[in-house]
Amino acid sequence: MRIVLLGPPGSGKGTQAIRLAQQLGIPQLSTGDMLRAAVSTGTSVGRKAEAVMESGGLVPDELVVEVVAQCILQPDAENGFILDGFPRTVAQARSLEDLLLAKQLNLDCVLELRVDEDVLLGRILNRAREAKINRHAVRVDDTEEALKVRLQEYRRRTEPLTDYYRSKGILRSVDGLQPINIVAASLLEAIARELCVPKIQARA
């Protein structure tokens, strides 16, 4: 099962991607996590990505595609994966198709979390506050300033992907403002509908 999870910053994409991955027994591939790891270990990708990530901008397509190409072709992704945070541009979506096509594979569905923009800032600032209280690392881009850029980038470069995937008939939208468990159940339902199975038995 090859799934893309789309949604603006603060929409709960990461939380839902982790849950879905556990329930479906396939890896969650988060480009944000991969890039943050690259920054903290100081790889050449990390050095190129660091400043733009801190500002809330998007890392150049070719850099992210390179990172994704390495992991979707790994043995642990053989039975599928959930892409969290990729693609974020139409060019990335096309590169993903090319990568999959080269292996005679395709995407099964694209799930979009719909959340009103005015709740996103509150959610992100809350996440930063909670991380601080729990002495977890606070993301450098969880600031009001960087969030503005992240939202602008989302609107300008990522939102067009919903039309792109809708026109391919594989987009399913879910209300991301519902409680976490309900969103998770709605996502599983959407996947089951897409795969034409009555229900997906989530793993314990």
Cβ-based nearer residue to ligand AMP, 9 or 174? 9
The Cα 115–Cα 11 span in angstroms is 6
Cβ-based nearer residue to ligand AMP, 92 or 186? 92
Contacting ligand AMP (CB under 6 A), which of 109, 150, 188, 200?
150
Burial 55-76 (b: 16+ CB within 10 A, else e): ebbbbebebbbebbeeebeeee
Is residue 139 flagged as an active site residue? yes
The runs of H, that is alpha helices, within 31-157 are: 31-41, 44-55, 61-72, 90-101, 117-133, 144-153
Q: Is residue 86 a contact point for ligand AMP (CB under 6 A)?
A: yes
| Residue sitting closest to ligand AMP (CB) | 32
Is residue 47 flagged as an active site residue? no
Q: Is residue 53 a contact point for ligand AMP (CB under 6 A)?
A: yes
Query: Can you tell me which residue has the tokens 């989302």?
Result: 154
The Cα 157–Cα 182 span in angstroms is 28
Q: Are the C-beta atoms of residues 29 and 134 closer than 8 Å to each other?
A: no
Is residue 19 flagged as an active site residue? no
Candidate segments 21-29, 31-39, 128-136, 176-184, binder of ligand AMP by CB under 6 A? 31-39
The token pair at 80 is 């599928």
Candidate segments 28-36, 70-78, 100-108, 191-199, binder of ligand AMP by CB under 6 A? 28-36
Q: Is residue 19 a contact point for ligand AMP (CB under 6 A)?
A: no
Candidate segments 52-60, 69-77, 95-103, 176-184, binder of ligand AMP by CB under 6 A? 52-60
Catalytic residue among 19, 36, 150, 172: 150
The Cα 1–Cα 79 span in angstroms is 6
Q: Is residue 31 a contact point for ligand AMP (CB under 6 A)?
A: yes
Is residue 114 flagged as an active site residue? no
The Cα 176–Cα 94 span in angstroms is 26
Q: Is residue 28 a contact point for ligand AMP (CB under 6 A)?
A: no
Helices (H) and strands (E) in the chain, counts: 9, 5
Question: Would you tell me which residues interact with ligand AMP (CB under 6 A)?
Answer: 9, 31-32, 35, 52-53, 56-59, 64, 85-88, 92, 141, 150
Known catalytic residues are: 13, 88, 127, 139, 150
